[in-house]
Chain A
Amino acid sequence: MTILAGIIEAESHLRILPIVGGALLFGTIGARVFQLIRFPQVVGYIIIGLVLGRSGFELIDEGTIDALRPFNFFALGIIGFMIGGELHRDVFRKYGKQFVGILLSEGIGAFLVVSILSTALLALVTRELAASVAVGIVLGALSSATAPAATVEVLREYKTRGVLTTAVYAVVAMDDGLALILYGVATSIAGLIVSPGGSGADGGLVAALGEALYKLITAVAVGVLAGIALNFILRRGRDREKALTYIIGSLALVIGLCGLLKVDEILAAMALGVVIVNLAPRRSYSAFEVVERFAPPIYVLFFVIVGAHVEVVGMGLWMLGLAVAYVVGRSLGKMLGVNIGARATKSPAVLRKYLGLCLFSQGGVAIGLALAAGDRFASVALGSVAIGSIIMTTITMTTLLVEILGPPAVKFAMCKAGEVGLNVTEEDLMASHTVADMMNSSPPTFQESAPLAVVLRTISDTDAASYPVVSEDNSLSGVISLSDLKQSFGAEGLTAWLVAFDLMRPAADTIDSSAPLTEAVTRMREQGLECLPVLASKDDPRLVGMIELRAISRKLSQEILRRHRLAENGAI
């Protein structure tokens, strides 16, 4: 207790580290619990954040969240960078038209449906049509944005690969841009509606569009320039550790610069990733790999803070209704938009059916824009509430909701599309197999009494690194390896009277058939063994097979190739 009290009383900058540590640990434990009930881990992070944060025990208070704000931007930058890395030019060449078509129609779909639904609801409640339209179209614009973070985290967790996965990357990467444009348009229209005659600060629709475009272009330009510079640096160094430092440094610079210029950080980081992956596809593979390995704690902390940030406060029933209308309208709008866009661009069916489900997540961009709208419409009331706070409260509430509903929807879509587990590495596959899956269950085997002549004949007819010798009850007595035989080749006459029992030596190690494949491989590598005899179980020494290192790597690479092919050709 005293420690906890000490932490609570400490200066805010001293509290950061224990809170970050606690957030990481508890977040990971929470994610594990959710993983056990087959929920994406990201939901666990957010809920732990909710429990620790402003709406829960307030261990992570506003001061801490503020202090961690730069970190949040940094995390978004990393997420943006990783998404950019998925957007190789081949993707655009193959699906560019489809992706852009779907992107436009899902964004505009959400915009239209949310605008109409929330305007209708607000007008019904407040009987003020004009102001209702103003709030409705701003909410509509905000609803078009999709937060990449939680979505991409699910793709990562379930190792997805295929056309749906690629489409998700492309759409979440680019719809921030669309959201910015729609927001620019919507707020200026809303401004015109709620203060006819135009306030001095409002330059009208054209100026708003101009500003949105300026922000887009600036963000992309910052990312592209940094990407060119970073590529120049990476080309010179081969050291992976240094590469990580250069990449993280560039990202921090880009994100900081965007903050100063007040343009979208994710977009810039994404542009940086796109430039790197397209200028140097092969070299950048390891660049993205090092960032990927470095990223997990950053993701965990980011999502815990997302949860901690949410403030669930008492609000009127109609506000709750508005939030529901927003979530329902946004989800329907996106699914409908995807459907129409996919049909119009003749996209693969898997996109038409499932892409909409992957676009529910909402986060940074929507919240950031809602904050801006909150400022702008702080003094304009609808009913008895400021328009600004209606917008901010709606976005905060719905963000929490869709951040919790979104990831399971992505998982569901990916399962349906059959893209789960297609983006695997050897380690992933090993972790998901047991020794029994990969062993040779009928290896060439000798009885103890098999004469040397028989042993030699079998060895010349087969191709194993070593041969198990078993007793009459089929329990393992030892192994014969080729090198053991060399000594007996010299002497004539031995073949007639030596038996396998004389030639074998005790097995250096054995493994149970139920052991994880990873364990078998680790043990073979550590001891420099080509293969291991596999026993039925710990208490049952009967030989059930042999597991061979080279056979494992052959099978694993075949399986990886098969899954990658499936991912490439999965689109129907």
Chain B
Amino acid sequence: MLELAKFLTPERVILLSATTKAEVLAELMEVIIAYNGAVDREELAREVARREEMMSTGIGNKIAIPHVRMEGMNKATMAVGVSRKGIADYESLDKQPVHIVIMIAAPKGEHETYIRLLAQVAEALKEADLREQIINADDPATVHRILTGGGNE
């Protein structure tokens, strides 16, 4: 099993003030870029948009997992945004607003890690209980702890 902690630090968890899909994606991209200066901002934006065009990454159950593979990354990286209000225009598969957005950017070569990471994130958020805890968390550290398996103390 991969450990999500390897891919997510508390600094890359933010509580979202934005309420549109475009703003939220832009905000999370900035988090990724801040963490990894080598990432090309335009390429990241283009890849994220390209993937959204194919099919929305709002997978239902209040979750969205925008994901890209691109050059310039040296390690798979996650950034998490939580919105208590919800993002209504995300075009989620269940047509409900999205509250938890987990962006994953991975190097082109790390195919297996990428797929496993996607699967694991989806698995980690399977329980409705846990999702509500994340949505209602007051600070990024709590979200990080819940997501990486530290529990809600």
User: Which residues does A use to contact B, with CB under 8 Å?
Assistant: 448-449, 451, 484, 487-488, 490-494, 496-499, 501-503, 505-506
Q: Tell yes or no: B118 within 8 A of A by CB.
A: yes
A505 to chain B, nearest CB (A): 5
B115–A496 CB distance below 8 A: no
B55–A491 CB distance below 8 A: no
Contacts A449-B54, A499-B54, A499-B55; A484 near B111 (Cβ below 8 A): yes
CB closest chain-B residue, reference A501: B54
Q: Tell yes or no: B77 within 8 A of A by CB.
A: no
Across the interface, which residues of B come within 8 angstroms of A492, CB to CB?
123, 126
A449 to B111, CA, bound (A): 18
B60–A496 CB distance below 8 A: yes
| Number of A-B contacts defined by CB within 8 Å | 50
Q: Interface 1/0s, chain B 63-106, versus A by CB < 8 A?
A: 00101000000000000000000000000010000000000000
Chain B residues within 8 Å of chain A by Cβ, number = 22
B101 to chain A, nearest CB (A): 14
Q: Which secondary structure characterizes the binding site on chain B?
A: helix
Contacts A502-B67, A505-B111, A506-B108; A497 near B116 (Cβ below 8 A): no
B60–A491 CB distance below 8 A: no
Across the interface, which residues of B come within 8 angstroms of A496, CB to CB?
59-60, 93
Across the interface, which residues of A come within 8 angstroms of B112, CB to CB?
487
Across the interface, which residues of B come within 8 angstroms of A506, CB to CB?
108
A490 to B93, CA, bound (A): 21
Closest 10 A/B residue pairs (Cβ): A491-B119, A449-B54, A497-B59, A487-B115, A505-B111, A499-B55, A499-B54, A493-B122, A488-B115, A487-B116
Q: Tell yes or no: B120 within 8 A of A by CB.
A: yes
Across the interface, which residues of A come within 8 angstroms of B108, CB to CB?
506
Q: Interface 1/0s, chain B 44-66, versus A by CB < 8 A?
A: 00000001011101011000010
Across the interface, which residues of B come within 8 angstroms of A502, CB to CB?
51, 67, 114-115, 118
Could you say which of B67, B93, B115, B119 has the most chain A C-beta atoms within 10 Å of its C-beta? B115
CB closest chain-A residue, reference B113: A487
A269 to B95, CA, bound (A): 87
A492 to B124, CA, bound (A): 11
B55–A488 CB distance below 8 A: no
Across the interface, which residues of A come within 8 angstroms of B59, CB to CB?
493, 496-497
A535 to B115, CA, bound (A): 27
A340 to chain B, nearest CB (A): 75
CB closest chain-A residue, reference B56: A497
Contacts A487-B112, A497-B93, A502-B67; A451 near B118 (Cβ below 8 A): no
A502 to B60, CA, bound (A): 18
Could you say which of B57, B118, B120 has the most chain A C-beta atoms within 10 Å of its C-beta? B118
A448, A449, A484, A487: the one contacting B119 at CB < 8 Å is: A487
Across the interface, which residues of B come within 8 angstroms of A451, CB to CB?
55
Q: What are some 10 contacts across the A-B interface (CB < 8 A)?
A: A449-B55, A451-B55, A484-B115, A487-B112, A493-B59, A493-B126, A494-B118, A499-B54, A501-B54, A503-B115
Could you say which of B54, B67, B123 has the most chain A C-beta atoms within 10 Å of its C-beta? B54
Q: A449-B53, A496-B60, A497-B60 are in contact. List 14 more A-B contacts (CB 8 A).
A: A448-B54, A449-B55, A484-B111, A487-B119, A491-B118, A491-B119, A492-B123, A492-B126, A493-B59, A494-B119, A497-B93, A502-B51, A502-B114, A503-B115
Q: Interface 1/0s, chain B 11-53, versus A by CB < 8 A?
A: 0000000000000000000000000000000000000000101
CB closest chain-B residue, reference A500: B54
A488 to B118, CA, bound (A): 9
Could you say which of A490, A493, A506 has the most chain B C-beta atoms within 10 Å of its C-beta? A493
CB closest chain-B residue, reference A488: B115
B122–A491 CB distance below 8 A: yes
A490 to B115, CA, bound (A): 11
Could you say which of B53, B67, B93, B119 has the most chain A C-beta atoms within 10 Å of its C-beta? B119
CB closest chain-A residue, reference B110: A505
Q: Interface 1/0s, chain B 114-145, versus A by CB < 8 A?
A: 11101110110010000000000000000000
CB closest chain-B residue, reference A498: B118
B124 to chain A, nearest CB (A): 10
